[in-house]
Structure 1
Amino acid sequence: MKATIYDVAREAGVSIAAVSQVINGKGKISEERRAKITEVMEKLGYRPSVIAAALTGKKTYTLGLLVPDISNPFFAEIARAVEDRGDHHGYSLVICSTDNQDERVERYLTLLQQKSVDGIIIGTGIEDIKLLEPIRSKSIPVTMIARALPGESLQTVVVDDYEGGRLAARHLLGLGHTALAVLAEHPKVTSSQERIRGFRETVAEAGLSLPDYFVKSSGRELVKDGKRNASELLRYAERPTAIFCCNDLLAIGALQAASELGIHVPSELSVVGFDNTILAQVTVPALTTIAQPTERMGELAVDLILQKNAGQPDEPPPLRTVLAPELIVRQTTAALLR
């Protein structure tokens, strides 16, 4: 049978109240007694009931994370970073994949409220901002990660997507490419919008243009969409010699398209991805990409939630934390052959 608080109290020779105080980190208990109770809890495998804690309004030591698709390696790495940081502080994580659909966002937010999570980290797009009102009314801490909600006063941890687009453009322009194209995510994805803006403006500064028909948007099936859109671009009479992809999955689709069309990467086509997921290291050839500091992003998002739960610090953190991207040059980019 599962150990109860009564079993812990009896084994440790203390009152139930003393065990409860150790669990909740309250009360004046000597370090010796606290250590004894903790030792007995570990010995018996006792774990406080999250449900009971929720019903009494106490911390459940649970966080919620909403991402578009946990099968996307970038969001899997974000989830792992959040989980590791939460675990370091004694928190468990509930992960929800939304497919960027408000209907699913609403359902999961309701579920997380019912579970009385101590905070919610949102890495998915939300079109109807009113979905957040029930969370705000209950003062549940919320932090955005890898996504921003323009006009909303929410703590946000993002990479500088605009600068990431500029880094990709500078790299390709420096290699002599002038016929440039972009594979984008869904038009409503704010991070993708910023990456394209940075790329487009840098290309314009070089005296070149990025025609609208050289910018292709995708849906949910990123690899498949990337392959289809890249195939279309590469069949143009005057095709691009370099493609900037707004994530690594789209870049993999572009590499597949080039392979099927007999176009060699990188001597005939350069490809740059974004995110620097594990996939970027195992593609053939290995993918040049813009890295996001996923581990640091996860740490900061969790720390912001915990700071809110602990009360306002003397100097509150900035509402928007922007981290620097990094160009990782591998084997899918090369100088343009004249």
Structure 2
Amino acid sequence: MKKRKSITDIARELNVAISTVSAVLNGKTEERRIGEATKKRVLDYTLNAGYKPNQIARSLRTGKSNIIGMLVEEIANPFFAEITSKVEKKAAQHNYELIYSSTENDVNKIDRLITTYKNRQVDGFIIAPTIGSEKKIKELIEDKTPLVLFDRYLPTLATNNVLINNFNGIYIAMEHLKKSGYMNIGFISTNSRQTNMQDRLSGYRSFVNEHNWDASILEIDFKIGDTIKPSVISKYLLKNLQLDALIFSTNYIALCGLSALQQIQKSISKTYGIISFDDNTHFDLFKPSITTIAQPIEDIAEGIIQTLLLKMKEENYNSPIITKTFEPKLIIRESTKK
């Protein structure tokens, strides 16, 4: 990151003693008998430099705020909520505070949040990027701001990434369904162009092409904050009665799909094999329980924090780009047993 002004720098530019700046920033002007005019000069200068009163002293003394900024797609999503919680705990173990916000995959919102976090002098960023955020993230790279992307990546930028093998997650799910006797498998997803969703779709296409099966894909028009109507999925199912199994690309689509199956009065265990990408705390409570492709949350959170800590060390910033890729795990439950 660009070098922050130290207490020495401020004292020299204001032509006052270092001890005077320190006293003002630490609220000890009365003890040192520092006049109001001098106090105002120091505070005005530091505030105009972008510092906030409760962060000034520490960040100027150490050159660090000990704050990490994290931007996720939607904090209400169980996956992002769990990842954020674990990253927050791991950051605290290294004496860092975590501040986080939802971007809702809105380019303007992610740009505003990055600017806000930069003004708060965060020491590093953890971002689940959205398409269109390349320009703002490129600015962070050019400013030498420590940065880790997770869940998805931006192909046009050289960034540190912590990812999972989305392609392989779907592929092994397809293999499991085939071994279980399912031969007509539908793939239900959103029309998102994010790399994680595209890799999942590629895993499905690759498997059906290799086995000369017919692909059956439903891509739902969806934006964060929208509600997927079960009728969209039920119409698809009624038009594709040859299907004997379904893979849902996310757990929230799976929940909607299960509602759709109830609407058309189909028995999951007798009619369809069901697999959802991302586990859900309720999936093992369903009757039948739902087979899932689970992401290794603990490993992802550890990978994120360790990569960022490494890059926040000035001597390591220019070290080679780091990309960590973890394998998802297939949790087999009753919904894929014929």
Equivalent AA in structure 2 for residue 247 of structure 1: T
The question of whether the paired residues in 2 share the 8 Å contact of 1:118 and 1:309 is answered with yes
Cα deviation, 1:299-335, whole Å, max 9, x if unaligned, reads 1111111111123459956532111111101122222
Cα deviation, 1:42-69, whole Å, max 9, x if unaligned, reads xxxxxx9434334567211111111111
Matching residue within 52, 63, 66 for 1:61: 66
The question of whether the paired residues in 2 share the 8 Å contact of 1:233 and 1:239 is answered with no
The question of whether the paired residues in 2 share the 8 Å contact of 1:62 and 1:92 is answered with yes
Pair 1:222–1:278, CA change in 2 (3 A): farther
Percent identity between the two aligned chains: 26
Matching residue within 219, 227, 232 for 2:230: 227
Matching residue within 276, 301, 304 for 1:301: 304
Question: Is there any run of 5+ residues in structure 1 with no aligned partner, and where?
Answer: 1-15, 21-47
The question of whether the paired residues in 1 share the 8 Å contact of 2:72 and 2:128 is answered with yes
The question of whether the paired residues in 2 share the 8 Å contact of 1:83 and 1:93 is answered with yes
* Other structure's SS at 1:322 match: strand
Equivalent AA in structure 1 for residue 264 of structure 2: L
Task: Say how many residue pairs are matched.
Answer: 290
Matching residue within 231, 241, 251 for 1:248: 251
Matching residue within 194, 202, 208 for 1:203: 208
* Other structure's SS at 1:321 match: strand
TM-score by length of 1: 0.78
The question of whether the paired residues in 2 share the 8 Å contact of 1:224 and 1:253 is answered with no
CA shift at 1:224, angstroms? Answer: 4.0
Equivalent AA in structure 1 for residue 323 of structure 2: R
Question: Residue 165 of structure 2 aligns with which residue?
Answer: 160
Equivalent AA in structure 2 for residue 187 of structure 1: S
CA shift at 1:227, angstroms? Answer: 2.6
Q: Which moved more, 1:102-111 or 1:52-61?
A: 52-61
- C-alpha distance in 2, partners of 1:218/1:51? 46
Question: Residue 88 of structure 1 aligns with which residue?
Answer: 93
CA shift at 1:271, angstroms? Answer: 1.4
Cα deviation, 1:216-269, whole Å, max 9, x if unaligned, reads 234136894273432122211534221111111111111111012110112111
Question: Residue 215 of structure 1 aligns with which residue?
Answer: 218
Question: Residue 311 of structure 1 aligns with which residue?
Answer: 314
CA shift at 1:291, angstroms? Answer: 1.0
- C-alpha distance in 1, partners of 2:302/2:273? 34
CA shift at 1:283, angstroms? Answer: 3.8
Pair 1:221–1:331, CA change in 2 (3 A): farther
* Other structure's SS at 1:278 match: coil
Question: Residue 83 of structure 2 aligns with which residue?
Answer: 78
- C-alpha distance in 2, partners of 1:158/1:300? 9
TM-score by length of 2: 0.78
The question of whether the paired residues in 1 share the 8 Å contact of 2:307 and 2:322 is answered with no
* Other structure's SS at 1:64 match: strand
The question of whether the paired residues in 1 share the 8 Å contact of 2:164 and 2:325 is answered with yes
Is 1:280 aligned to residue 283 of structure 2?
Answer: yes
Pair 1:291–1:222, CA change in 2 (3 A): farther
The question of whether the paired residues in 2 share the 8 Å contact of 1:59 and 1:118 is answered with yes
- C-alpha distance in 2, partners of 1:237/1:115? 53
Is 1:291 aligned to residue 294 of structure 2?
Answer: yes
Question: Is there any run of 5+ residues in structure 2 with no aligned partner, and where?
Answer: 1-18, 24-52
The question of whether the paired residues in 2 share the 8 Å contact of 1:54 and 1:115 is answered with no
Equivalent AA in structure 2 for residue 175 of structure 1: S
- C-alpha distance in 2, partners of 1:187/1:142? 24
Question: Residue 124 of structure 1 aligns with which residue?
Answer: 129
Is 1:137 aligned to residue 142 of structure 2?
Answer: yes
Query: What RMSD over aligned residues (CA atoms) do the two structures have, in Å?
Result: 2.7
Pair 1:238–1:251, CA change in 2 (3 A): same
CA shift at 1:178, angstroms? Answer: 2.0
Pair 1:188–1:173, CA change in 2 (3 A): same
